[in-house]
Amino acid sequence: MIDVRALRENPEPARASQRARGADVDLVDRIIEADVERRTALQEFESLRSQQKDVSRLVGKASPEDRPAVLAQAKELADQVKAAEARSNEAASEADRLARLLPNLIVDGVPTGGEDDYVVLRHEGPKVRDFVAEGFEPADHLALGERLGAIDVKRGAKVSGSRFYYLTGVGARLELALMTMAMDQAVAAGFVPMMTPTLVTPAIMGGTGFLNEHSDEIYYLPADDLYLTGTSEVALAGYHADEILDLSAGAKRYLGWSTCYRREAGSAGKDTRGIIRVHQFNKVEMFSYCRPEDAQEEHQRFLHWEEEMLAKVELPYRVIDTAAGDLGTSAARKFDCEAWLPTQERWMEVTSTSNCTTFQSRRLGIRERREDGQMYPVATLNGTLATTRWIVAILENHQQADGSVRIPEALRPYLGNVEVFEPVN
Cβ(226)–Cβ(165) below 8 Å:
no
Give Cβ neighbours of residue 6 (< 8 Å, ≥ 6 apart): none
Confidence of residue 51 (pLDDT cuts 50, 70, 90): confident
- Which range has the worst mean pLDDT, 3-7, 64-68, 288-292? 64-68
Q: Active site residue: 17, 232, 330, 352, which one?
A: 352
Host H or E run for residue 353: strand 346-355
What b/e sequence results for 222-258 when a residue is b if at least 16 CB atoms lie within 10 Å of its CB, and e otherwise?
eeeebbbbbbbbbbbbbbbbeeebebeeebbbbbbbb
Percentage of the chain exceeding pLDDT 90: 86
Per-residue confidence (pLDDT) for residue 1, from 0 to 100 = 66
Given this model, what pLDDT does residue 266 score?
63
Domains of the chain, start order: 4-101 (1.10.287.40), 119-421 (3.30.930.10)
For 365-385, the pLDDT digits (tens) are 999 999 888 999 999 999 999
Mean pLDDT along residues 225-254: 97
Q: Tell me how far CA of residue 364 lies from CA of 235, 239, 244, 337, 354, in angstroms.
A: 12, 10, 11, 29, 17
DSSP string, 302-320: HHHHHHHHHHHTT--EEEE
Q: CB–CB of 315/393 below 8 Å? A: yes
Task: Say how far residue 146 (Cα) sits from the centre of its chain.
Answer: 33
CA 392, 398, 400, 406 torsion: positive or negative?
negative
Q: Is 389 a catalytic residue?
A: yes
Give the type of residue at 196: T
Instruction: Tell me: pLDDT of 267 over 70.
Output: no
Which residues does residue 376 pair with via DSSP β-bridges, in sequence order?
368
The pLDDT, as a whole number, for residue 53 is 82
Give catalytic status of residue 262 as yes or no. yes
When the pLDDT of each residue in the chain is averaged and rounded to a whole number, the result is 94
What's the per-residue H, E or C state across 206-249?
HHCCCCCCCHHHCCEECCCCEEECCCCHHHHHHCCCCCEECCCC
Find the catalytic residue in 44, 330, 389, 396. Answer: 389
Residue 268 has what pLDDT?
67
More confident residue, 307 or 50: 307
Give percent above pLDDT 70 in the chain. Answer: 98
pLDDT tens digits, 192-215: 999 999 999 999 999 999 987 678
Instruction: Kindly report each contact of residues 373-378 with a partner whose C-beta sits within 8 Å and lies 24 or more positions away, as own/partner.
Output: 375/244, 376/291, 376/292, 377/3, 377/292, 378/245, 378/247, 378/289, 378/290, 378/291, 378/292
Residues 6+ apart with CB under 8 A from 284: 179, 182, 183, 186, 255, 256, 257, 384, 385, 386, 387
Decide if 349 is catalytic: yes
Q: What is the pTM of this model?
A: 0.91
Minimum mean pLDDT among 39-53, 57-71, 333-347: which range? 57-71
Q: What is the pLDDT of residues 69-124, one digit of tens each?
A: 877 787 888 889 899 999 999 999 999 999 999 999 999 999 999 999 999 999 99
How far apart CA 148 and CA 251 sit, in angstroms, is 43
Catalytic residue among 30, 39, 263, 277: 277
pLDDT at residue 116, rounded to an integer:
94
Please say if 122 is a catalytic residue.
no
**pLDDT beyond 80 at 65:** no
From the list 85, 264, 349, 422, the catalytic residue is: 349
Asked whether residue 282 carries a pLDDT value surpassing 90, the answer given is: yes
Q: What is the pLDDT of residues 169-184, one digit of tens each?
A: 999 999 999 999 999 9
pLDDT of 222 higher than 80: yes
Amino acid at 351: T
Catalytic-role residue among 21, 38, 253, 262 = 262
Write out pLDDT tens, residues 328-340.
999 999 999 999 9
Residues whose CB falls within 8 Å of the CB of residue 4, separated by 6 or more in sequence, listed in order: 31, 35, 95, 99
Q: Which tens digits make up the pLDDT trace of 248-262? A: 999 999 999 999 999
